[in-house]
Structure 1
Amino acid sequence: MKTKITYLCFGMLTLVLAGCSEESNQKESSVEPVASANELPQTFEEPVTLNVIKHVSGDIFFRDGETIEDNVHTDWVKEQFNIDLNYLWTTSGPGETFDTKLQLSMSANEELPSILALRSDITQDLIDSGRVMEVGELFDKYASDTWKEAMAADPHAWDPYIREEGRMAIPILDYEMNGDSVLFIRQDWMDALGLEPPETMDDIEEIMDAFVNEDPTGTGEKTYGLAVGFANALNTWMSEVDWVFGAYGGMPDQWNLADDGTLEHGSVQPEIKEGLETMRRWMEKGYIHPESGLWDEGKAAELFTSGRAGIIAGPHWMPDWPLSELKQNVEGAEYQAYDIPSGPDGQKGRSTGISSHNGAVMINANATEEEIQAFFVYQNYLFDHFANPTEGSEFEYGFAEGYDYVIEDGEVKYSDDDIPGGRIDPVKYTLTFDGARMPSLYIKTLADFARGQEPETPFQKKMYLQYPELAWEGARIVVDGEDAQIPSMFTGAPTDTMLQKGDTLDSLLKENFSKMIYGEKPIDDFESLVDQWKASGGDDMTAEVNEWFKSVQENKE
């Protein structure tokens, strides 16, 4: 759910965009339409200019003298395709800076870029403004087979951008299962106390009880069973407890697919009460820190990395960060990755996103044919050559030597210490943020390493060097536990009730759930809380969500 301010901006921007007039003159194109991706030019005889905009986020760095407008990426685009990237404007700082600039630009009816690649809720308003074109037919016509295959792997990727007119934005594909929960448990504590690996929720409670009451450090220092922070949500991205509710068949803070084929809000289902009862018991027994309800995800992770908690849940990549800090802080500390436990009825559940995508590309309704072709030539090339490069190809080791890798004495190196001036990732300069990604390639590659497979392809060799073995095992757990996924199914624009009451409804549940966990409110008040949520707008919101879901299914046909 978004904040009230964000919802207000949505409504204001919709009015602004509706009042914006289209550019009066279509730009002329110097190229003719072609029939398919195979007939697209490899490079353009005459220079093609693509107008774009970009947010230069805090994780984007440059070599001395380079900028987003002039760098190794813009040079490559020019040399490879004869395409000039013209940045109409850029922003830096917080992500909201970009959204504000775009809102102001639209309200002033300034020129819309040829290509709009966004990771922003404004995408939905831009689609509804009528200033971007239907792109589904263009994708079917111009996308390469490699790109189409990657897109087809996720049947829901297009869902947020489907309208009666067709598919209005191209999903930017990302790696799947990247946020699915794994348990990381202090193995040295387990060994010291003679504990067996957990399989059930009862096993988890036994382990936590030992971690709290049997002095696993041998120092008498106060320790906790589980590092968790639920100030923001119960179902979050790190230090999470989604698996606790999943053990009872529920999943809060998202819209789930019900048995009757409709969508239901996970936080108000009966199974959530059982999860809250469990969390309350753990709080009473001291298994979780008494300030967990005040902590965000990062603060909770510090309890684990400082050596004061024995279990933390989060994505498979956490051994890379932040869990690498544990061994720096605590001499001799060891931890292992474990699957989430099953509940009393044998159920397991972890939250997972419905789509393997992060953002979308829209094309200006007034874009010329050469601009359209230029974008597809560019993105096809990245899918065909960068996403899973072949041995001996230009992207075999990375995007650019001296930036994201170096070769010394025939050995490829990726670390900051090995690259003069530090590692810089120019793939972040690309129009679609990460170059090109095939959703299942990354997670399955790491999982195969955990099963003993040696790296063979350039992509596999790069992943082998970049991720620690514990991340491999976490990936294997997630891949093998795919049946436990509970996907979040609503990916549309905020509904009218969300805009008006979403923040209030969220706060109602979050505040009362917190009080129940802390014992300040009876768990038996859950049913009356659900009734209050429904009467306060929850039923209206549920109807709107299902109206969207139905329309998406119908427009897919």
Structure 2
Amino acid sequence: MKRFVLLGMTALFLLSGCRQGGGKESESMQVTSDTAGGQSVQFNPQKDKYDPPATMTVAAAVNPEMTFKNGETLEDNVHTRWVKKRLGIDIRYLWTIPNQNHSFDTKLRLELAAGRPFPDVLPVRGEVVHELIDSGQFMEVGELFERYASTSWKKAMDTDPSVWFPYMRNGKKYAIPILDYEYSSDPVLWIREDWLNRLNLKAPETLDELTDVMNAFTNGDPDGNQTKDTYGLAVGFKNGMNSWMADANWIFGGFGSVPGQWNVGAGGRLEYGSVDPGAESALALLQKWMKEGYISREAEWFDEVRAAEQFASGKAGVVAGPIWMKYWPLGEMKARNKDAVISAYKIPSGPGGKIARRGSRLNNGAVLINKEMKHPELFFTYQNYLFDHYAQQSGEFKYGLAEGYDWVRTPEGQESTNPSDIPGGYVRVAAYTLTFDGARIPEAWNKNVVPEDVPIHEVLLSQAGASKKDMFRGGPTETMGLKGELLKKLEKETFIQIIYSRLPAAAFREFTRSWRQLGGEQITEEVNQWYDEVK
């Protein structure tokens, strides 16, 4: 969720603009509908505010990174009130659920099994989207997008037409991709610079050097409290080796391949990274780090947020993750320790100088539209406005989505996103939007970067060639549907068993044999059949 809180880097991930008119818009359809009160509403999705307000039902997860103030909730907050006032759309949540341990996906599956009605609009992340599409309860959206999406939204979507691939069935589109920024989740290495200085260490450039640094961070009392209570690396294994923050994908990359995704192999075919021979060496290294105490024994149960919090709380000296981590969750460290210094460094290389890391896809979920929704143009009215204004980095949303929440005008007349300047603290209002982050134009990620963040961007881009995107972008293949969950479970259990020395590293070889025999080999053929058709 993909899950970002931006302060000084608001221009990178949150800043947006108001462009009155927004250029030539798509064709609009005017229809008349009866509201609950029996009044007639004229729908003109490109021009009009709905009057009286028209209702659009949704369902959503309350994610861990969401914060609220002034007694607000996801159902009633500064954004939902703005939508009603500005656009005449009354967003009503049929239900919300705290999103822990994939509870949102579980809830959706239970709703599906029980045959209960879904809301008009359903934004989702993760594999559950395929079950929802295949349920037949959601409409084909390709023609709707062509008819109602604004020029700016269409242009952004044209950046990479393959973002549609996972949501297509028989050539038709059944979910609208939620666009994300380029490099939105590509990791850099975040290190406690003050710990390096205290222990007279230099930043690591290789995995061997990183091992030495982690040894010092674990055993050298880097925080100076005369207690052995720190770890070298903050990492979470709960959601696999390749996730969106505080994961281990880059460690495997140092041995030749990124796990948990499909990479282009030497012969030009797609190969599943978790069965690459180099993964055995990566697991052996993680096993060594665990034995030496450089990683918490609880990492098995740490998700991305919990692992990052270990670093932010001052209990670990290294964590890998996207550049926006500087603001959330690592920004919380300054409130706890004003002397803490965090710096971004390049991903360290493995044997032979190998470097690889997860590369970001340009989509971060998708929006499904219920077949029973009488006026799907309502959603386009909402999202068009965000693309035509919020994504343009000027005007109404120049500094953020809501004054007093994600930005403020100081008594001196200066605009600020500094939490200390905002009464009640900073709130990432973009998290309240139906598409998780408002509206994002992929190539706009590197515009208007504040000067202090330029070095971080330089670190990220210096290893642009190391970023490896998951090259399989289609929907689940037939064998994935039958055997996919079994193979994921086998992979996770084997990797954890090896890392915790419950199995030797050589057990990886038996895993790869079992993976292929239990369906992995057939999945590889199906994935490459798809790849041959689209490349």
Q: Same fold (TM over 0.5)?
A: yes
SS for the counterpart of 1:234 is: coil
CA distance in 1, matches of 2:249, 2:305: 16
Partner of 2:409: 407
Partner of 2:94: 89
Kindly report which structure 2 residues correspond to 1:159-170, keeping only aligned pairs within 5 A, or say none: 159-170=165-176
CA distance 1:44–1:135, change in 2 (3 Å): same
Partner of 1:357: 363
**TM-score, length-normalised on structure 2?**
0.78
CA distance 1:115–1:205, change in 2 (3 Å): closer
Partner of 1:42: 47
CA distance in 1, matches of 2:220, 2:93: 62
CA distance in 1, matches of 2:388, 2:529: 38
Partner of 2:382: 378
Q: What is the aligned-residue RMSD (CA, Å)?
A: 3.8
Partner of 2:13: none
CA distance in 1, matches of 2:386, 2:431: 13
Partner of 1:441: 444
CA distance 1:275–1:51, change in 2 (3 Å): same
Preserved contact between residue 55 and residue 98 of structure 1 (Cα < 8 Å): no
Partner of 1:54: 59
Aligned-pair CA distance for 1:103: 5.2
Aligned-pair CA distance for 1:340: 0.6
SS for the counterpart of 1:240 is: coil
Residues 1:523 and 2:477 are matched in the alignment:
no
User: Aligned letter for 2:244?
Assistant: W
User: Aligned letter for 2:437?
Assistant: D
CA distance in 2, matches of 1:404, 1:328: 18
Preserved contact between residue 50 and residue 89 of structure 2 (Cα < 8 Å): no
Partner of 1:458: none
Q: Deviation digits for residues 119-149 of structure 1, max 9, x if unmatched?
A: 4644323433444333224333432232122
Aligned-pair CA distance for 1:487: 1.4
- Count matched residues: 491
CA distance in 2, matches of 1:326, 1:43: 46
Say which is worse superposed, 355-364 or 340-349, in terms of deviation: 355-364
Preserved contact between residue 224 and residue 287 of structure 1 (Cα < 8 Å): yes
Partner of 1:237: 244
Residues 1:323 and 2:330 are matched in the alignment:
yes
User: Aligned letter for 1:135?
Assistant: V
SS for the counterpart of 2:183 is: coil
CA distance in 1, matches of 2:318, 2:248: 11
Say which is worse superposed, 231-240 or 160-169, in terms of deviation: 231-240
CA distance in 2, matches of 1:133, 1:503: 27
CA distance 1:474–1:270, change in 2 (3 Å): same
Preserved contact between residue 52 and residue 113 of structure 1 (Cα < 8 Å): yes
Partner of 2:148: 142
Residues 1:533 and 2:535 are matched in the alignment:
no
Percent identity at matched positions? 42
Aligned-pair CA distance for 1:101: 6.1
SS for the counterpart of 2:521 is: helix
Preserved contact between residue 257 and residue 276 of structure 2 (Cα < 8 Å): yes
Preserved contact between residue 91 and residue 98 of structure 1 (Cα < 8 Å): no
Aligned-pair CA distance for 1:547: 4.9
Kindly report which structure 2 residues correspond to 1:490-501, keeping only aligned pairs within 5 A, or say none: 490-495=472-477, 497-501=479-483
Residues 1:310 and 2:326 are matched in the alignment:
no
Q: Deviation digits for residues 478-511 of structure 1, max 9, x if unmatched?
A: 2332211121234555555445544443333333
* Structure label with greater radius of gyration: 1
Kindly report which structure 2 residues correspond to 1:64-463, keeping only aligned pairs within 5 A, or say none: 72-74=78-80, 76-81=82-87, 83-85=88-90, 87=92, 89-94=94-99, 96=103, 100=107, 104=111, 107-108=114-115, 110=117, 113-119=119-125, 121-212=127-218, 216=222, 221-222=227-228, 224-289=231-296, 292-293=299-300, 295-298=302-305, 300-301=307-308, 303-305=310-312, 307-327=314-334, 332-353=339-360, 355-365=361-371, 371-390=375-394, 393-409=395-411, 410-414=413-417, 418-420=421-423, 423-424=426-427, 426-442=429-445, 444-445=446-447, 448-449=449-450, 452=451
CA distance 1:104–1:272, change in 2 (3 Å): closer
CA distance 1:522–1:142, change in 2 (3 Å): same
Aligned-pair CA distance for 1:412: 2.4
Q: Deviation digits for residues 418-473 of structure 1, max 9, x if unmatched?
A: 4455555554444434321222323x147x43xx4xxxxxxxxxxxxxxxx5x664
**Which consecutive residues of structure 1, in runs of 5 or more, have no partner in the other structure?**
1-27, 32-38, 453-468
Preserved contact between residue 317 and residue 474 of structure 1 (Cα < 8 Å): no
SS for the counterpart of 1:148 is: helix
**TM-score, length-normalised on structure 1?**
0.75
Preserved contact between residue 117 and residue 359 of structure 1 (Cα < 8 Å): yes
User: Aligned letter for 2:62?
Assistant: S
SS for the counterpart of 1:237 is: coil
CA distance in 1, matches of 2:279, 2:226: 36
User: Aligned letter for 2:386?
Assistant: L
CA distance in 2, matches of 1:154, 1:358: 13
SS for the counterpart of 1:394 is: helix
Aligned-pair CA distance for 1:521: 3.3
SS for the counterpart of 1:345 is: helix
Aligned-pair CA distance for 1:531: 0.7
Aligned-pair CA distance for 1:287: 4.0
Aligned-pair CA distance for 1:527: 2.2
Aligned-pair CA distance for 1:403: 4.2
CA distance in 2, matches of 1:259, 1:117: 37
SS for the counterpart of 2:162 is: coil
Preserved contact between residue 61 and residue 104 of structure 2 (Cα < 8 Å): no
User: Aligned letter for 2:56?
Assistant: N
User: Aligned letter for 1:488?
Assistant: D
For CA contacts below 8 A with separation 6 or more, give which structure has more relative contact order. Answer: 2
